[in-house]
Structure 1
Amino acid sequence: MPDYVAARPFGSEPVSTAFRRRAVGGRVLSAALVAALLVPAGQALAQSAPPPAPVGAQPPTREEIERGVAEGTLNKSGPVAVDTSAVERAPCPLSSPDFAGIRLKLSSVTFAGMDKLPGVDLSDSYREYVGTDQPVSIICDIRDRAATKLRGAGYLAAVQVPPQKITDGNVRLDVLLAHLSRIQIKGDAGASEGALLRYLNKLTAEPVFNTYQAERYLLLAKDVPGLDVRLALRPVDGAPGEVIGEVSVRRTPVYADFSVQNFGSKAVGRFNGLLRAQFNGLTGLGDTTTVSFFATPEFREQKVLQIGHEMRLGGEGFSLRGDFTYAWTNPTTVGASQFHSRTLVASLEARYPFVRRQAFNLSASGGLDLINQQVDFGAIRFNEDRLRVAFVRLDLNGLSRKSLLGRDGFTPYEPHWNWGLSVEARHGLSILDATKSCAGLSLAACGAVTPSRFSGDPEGSLIRASGEFDYRPVRNVTIAVAPRAQYAFDNLLSYEQFSGGNYTVGRGYDPGAAIGDSGIGVRTELRIGSQFPKEPGKPAFQPYAFFDAAWIWNRDKVAGVPDPQRLFSAGAGVRATLFDAVRVDGVVAVPLRDTVLQKVKGDVRFLINLSIQLAPWRL
């Protein structure tokens, strides 16, 4: 499986549309320009919704800003497994033909060595044989059934038949439970070795080794950026039950990729490129530093620089992440060339994985976003937003355990079914020089520079959710549904609004073709084939057809703007993986409805997204 993902995942949208979008959510011009252009001098602003602002007058939304740093790491780890081949059960001597003529009437079975597992009952391994006449080899079957139950509960155990004299049908079996005595690292873990051992040494603290308990810490170890780990258990000579954990480590200090696509708007250019690099293990805290730079071919039109750093603290997966983003946008199209936008976003986030398993994960995050956005008209400050938003988020995902174990004809990478869900609550705070609300004030009272939306509340609250659900009725056929929704309790400023278009919901529409306080949308796909090559280095192709739909509402109505706004689009394309390092997604998309300001119904648009892994180099 390639160790990278597409440079622009679902839900990410560049800044390119900031100067193409018109405001249809009650946004207004700056106080100086509105007073000069729209109302007589001294007249207070009416409380009805204002007209749309001119092209280029609106700052970009969250989806237009967030890029690779905020969307996660470049690598994508696979499943974990514990190699126990060196401690597999031994053959049972009582199953030898030499004992074929010996029979017994079973009365009871005693399992010695189970004092460390008081909650585990093995009686069902022999209950059906009690009081019946059986060949002595039935003891081997009971042994194997008991061992299977222990392994099913996650315990690595050897059930043995010790030398004994069986009287009155009473049989004794010895249970030898494995204890992981120490961890031995094989390979170069670099500066992250300490972080790796903080997770894996948790396994030696348990009196009995359990693969389900080990799963959490193995996955947390595998989550350390740049490390791929595999655990193999080896018995200790002369110490029955003691095992050593040999951890094989493969380290990748740097990931890098480059992507080019044409999802942008005409105002600042359809095509754009993103160069991104991830540096792992710089400080020894299981850390990763990501740097990305996005630009359009007309370099001055649009640039986005992002820097992010994440580190892991403690031995339970707690992490801290900080991101910094700065975006410049200077459109050159007629009617927008006088507008210039600057956006600064600084984020701090803490995350803790409450459940970390291969088949199910649950994590919680919380943090603060600091957003400064400004739009200038020539040398005049047009509008400005300063948002300070606290947030909490729950992330959940899961997949078929049968697919994880390969028992249903599917694989962990393309399981019978899998799903993911993220739910986030956000609330604006009046701290750190945040913008004051202009709602209910006259234009003059609001100040010389207004927010991007006169009725917007910098302390607004919202709940947003997004998910992805994949179902494969048979191999090589996937039905994918990716919903997203937002409900706003207040009128929102630009950065917090819900938007539709190429990068969210509505492929074929310009990014930000419809925006509003609340919305619901869904991307659906029918895919044929697989993105994963059958052999390393071989190509793979996955054709698909899609249908997207979105409904977007505003809390305040705008004359001439439908509520809700609707976007519908359909099309077909193909995704390809080449040489384990190149991914291509080409699609023909057709909008099925016009937007408020554009007649695009039936316009055919060809979209292409090309991603190339640069490091580690594989071509």
Structure 2
Amino acid sequence: MIRTRLAFAAALCLTLPSASFGQSARDYLPREPGLRTDPAREVRPPEETAPPAAIRPAAGTGGLLLRGIALDGATAVSEAELAPLWAGLIGTRVGVPELEAVAAAIGAAYRARGYILSQAILPAQDVSGGMVHIRVIEGFVETVEVLAENSSVQATTEQIFAPIPADRPLRITTLERSVLLARDTFGAEVETVLEPAPVTFGAANLGVSAAVEPTSYFATVDNRGSRLYGAWTLGAGSRSYNLLGLDERIDTLIAVAPSDASMLFAAATLDKPLASLAGSVLDGGRLELHADFSRADPDLAKSGSPDGLSLVQDETNLHAGLIVPFIRTRSQNLFGRAGLGFQESRGITDFANVESEQTDRLWVLDARLTWDVADRFGGVTLVDATVRKGLDIGGATVGADGPAAGVPDFLLADLTLSRLQRLGNGGWAIYGEATGQIAADVLPTTERFSLGDSTIGRGFAPGNTSGDSGFGTRLELRREIAPERLRDAVQSAELYVYGDYGRAWDRSLARDGEQVETLASWGFGARIDVRPWLTLTPEVARQLEGTATDTTETGLETRFYIGAIARF
């Protein structure tokens, strides 16, 4: 969470509105409100697997008097766990159908525990003593054959799938992890096929087609920006895989306020797998390098500042970090992140042809855990926790003076909790989110908690309200329209109504004269996929509480938003 600092014209004895330019240009980027699935990080509920039922004796008195069942080859699941499946048959007379049903139930019990290739069979044997042996085949992958477009992709894919032959018996989570890590690296076109091994009984061979996904592009436009920049924002970006031949993924983004280019933001992120971490506790770890630059020149007169006052802000961020997928499956993910960032923010304030300049330089150590899980109740839960610590090294400094300026060696923690819950099978769902930040110090403006954007405080402009600490909540009721009701006019549509509330407070009253500020709004809108490549996001938002800082108008407003996202 990187936010551009607000330069105070202390030398001119001026106080700018607290949020007139309190956030980074990244907060003004066009984006969809709400939660949409990221194809690169599938979160699906686990497949429903009914537990095997205990086998009961059939009617009649014929057959073998069963004195016991012994399992041969069972190592992953103990016999004690499986014994209830046949306990009711002991001491009764059974036939081949009952014994085959026991074998089928044992195989189902293995698969319910994630051992997808395992099964149990009833072999030919002498059962005259009443003791029956059932053979458990704990299935595994004998070989992995990778077909890739070049040697680099081949080597990386083989390393990603190396844990699979070693996992005996094979668990579905091991297979899912390798598939998803490969798709994280090369895109969604990585495919797998399991086939029975021609020689080894109970084994399978895995074929992997590692095709690199072509570069994709997107363009966005919306009017969710602050009126200090003209409200409308244009954006464009791309994602490419293995463009440099380093097995890397590169994301780029650029955004601009088109009215007078008063806001510009450009960013690039590169991440690549670290082969040296394979097999360790950091297995699957990726190096991430990020850089962004922003320039902003807000029209402060629109917020009620004196005529002739201008503020031009340049910010540069550099960050290097490690991302580790501790858990990576279709239904659950746990990512850990740690990194070091450098930020330089330079602000030039001009009033009556008198300039003052401030420069902040911050070194920030950050650690983050993100956990998401899809459960059997039709919901997806997300927990996202971050700790950020400013370091007093390398010339770290905050250019402003006084108790409200913030300190370079700050400490803060962020926490976000959310859940998307399906309501029955009629297309209804409810989404809830709670987010908050607590700071141990007066923060540099880049690190402040903010409200007012396309998630919480949606009736207000981005960065409308900020504080050292704060919280925000929102609740959204969603209704997906059945495709047959759309009559091919659009591909899919989702309607929603929402309410949000947030509060931010400062540790120092000297920052802007208000220690606690509140925002609240409600509204309704739609997310309309006109075609697979085009999404429209109309919305109406009504302010319920708070003061808009991107206008001199008083009173609560109703705002009308429209956005479009095109994918290529």
CA distance in 2, matches of 1:250, 1:234: 20
Q: Specify the alignment match of 1:508 in structure 2.
A: 459
Matching residue's letter, 1:470 = L
CA deviation profile, 1:541-575 (whole Å, cap 9, x unmatched): 11111111111100111498443201111111111
| Cross-structure match for 1:391 | 366
2:112 aligns with 152
Q: Is 1:607 matched with 2:553?
A: no
5+ residue gaps in structure 1?
1-10, 39-50, 84-99, 404-415, 437-448, 615-619
In the alignment, is the contact (CA less than 8 A) between 2:157 and 2:210 conserved in 1?
A: no
Correspondence 1:39-438 to 2 at 5 A: 52-53=15-16, 58=21, 60-61=23-24, 64=27, 75-78=39-42, 103-114=63-74, 121-155=81-115, 156-186=117-147, 188=149, 191-249=152-210, 251-314=212-275, 315=278, 316-331=283-298, 334=301, 335=307, 338-378=310-350, 380-400=355-375, 402=376, 416-435=378-397
Per-residue deviation at 1:174?
2.0
1:177-209 CA-partner distances (Å, limit 9, x unpaired): 222111123565885333222121210122322
Contact 2:25-2:264 at 8 Å conserved across structures = no
Distance 2:379 2:210 in 1: 30
Report the AA paired with residue 397 of structure 1: D
Write the distance in 2 (CA, Å) between the matches of 1:59 and 1:549. Answer: 20
Q: Would you say 1:557 and 2:529 are equivalent positions?
A: no
Matched, 1:29 2:9: yes
8 Å contact kept, 1:389–1:429:
yes
The CA distance in 2 between the partners of 1:575 and 1:112, in whole Å, is: 56
SS of equivalent residue, structure 2 residue 114: coil
SS in 2 for 1:342: strand
- TM-score (normalised: structure 1): 0.78
Q: What letter matches 1:60 in structure 2?
A: Q
Q: Is the 8 A contact 1:345 1:372 kept in 2?
A: yes
**What's the CA shift for 1:320?**
1.2
SS at match of 2:537: strand
TM-score normalised according to structure 2 size: 0.85
343-352 or 553-562: bigger deviation:
553-562
Do the aligned partners of 2:148 and 2:154 also contact (CA within 8 Å) in 1?
no
- Please list the CA deviations of residues 260-297 of structure 1 after superposition, one character each: whole Å capped at 9, or x if unmatched: 01111122111011110111123455420112111111
1:611 and 1:126 map into 2 onto residues whose CA distance is 58
Q: Secondary structure at the match of 2:189?
A: strand
Structure 2 unpaired stretches of 5+:
48-59, 302-306
* 1:497 CA displacement: 0.3
Structure 1 residue 173 displacement after superposition: 2.0
Alpha carbons 2:42, 2:331 under 8 Å: kept: no
In structure 1, what is the equivalent of residue 52 of structure 2?
none
Task: Pick one of 470, 490, 493 that aligns with 1:541.
Answer: 493
Report deviation, 1:341: 1.1
User: Amino acid of the residue matched to residue 362 of structure 1?
Assistant: L
**Counterpart residue identity of residue 388, structure 1:** W
Q: Which moved more, 1:176-185 or 1:223-232?
A: 223-232
Local SS of the residue matching 2:173: helix
Superposition deviation, residue 307 in structure 1: 1.3
Aligned-residue CA RMSD in angstroms?
3.4
Q: Distance in 2 between matches of 1:506 and 1:307?
A: 28
CA contact (8 A) 1:227 1:249 kept: no
Query: Do the aligned partners of residues 504 and 153 (structure 1) sit closer, same or farther apart at CA in structure 2, a change above 3 Å counting?
Result: closer
1:467 and 1:582, CA in 2 relative to 1: closer, same or farther beyond 3 A? farther
Sequence identity of aligned pairs in percent?
Answer: 21
2:457 corresponds to 1:494: no
Question: CA-to-partner distance for each residue in 1:501-545, whole Å, 9 max, x for gaps?
Answer: 124521121222111111111122111115999999951111111
Q: Deviations over 1:391-437 (max 9, x none)?
A: 1111111111x36xxxxxxxxxxxx111111111111111121105x
Deviates more, 1:219-228 or 1:197-206: 219-228
Equivalent-residue separation in structure 2 for 1:536 and 1:274 (angstroms): 29
Deviation (angstroms), 1:232: 2.8
Given the superposition, is the C-alpha separation of residues 530 and 222 from structure 1 closer, same or farther in structure 2, using an over 3 Å criterion? farther
What per-residue deviation string (whole Å, max 9, x for no partner) do you get for residues 76-120 of structure 1? 45469999xxxxxxxxxxxxxxxx996111111222222576677
Letter in structure 2 aligned against 1:124: P
User: Match of 1:247, SS?
Assistant: strand
Using the alignment, how far apart are the partners of 1:81 and 1:502 within structure 2? Answer: 30
Aligned mates of 2:181, 2:21 — CA distance in 1: 42
**AA in 2 matched with 1:328:** R
Question: 1:79, 1:326 → 2: CA distance?
Answer: 32
Secondary structure of the 1:458 match is coil
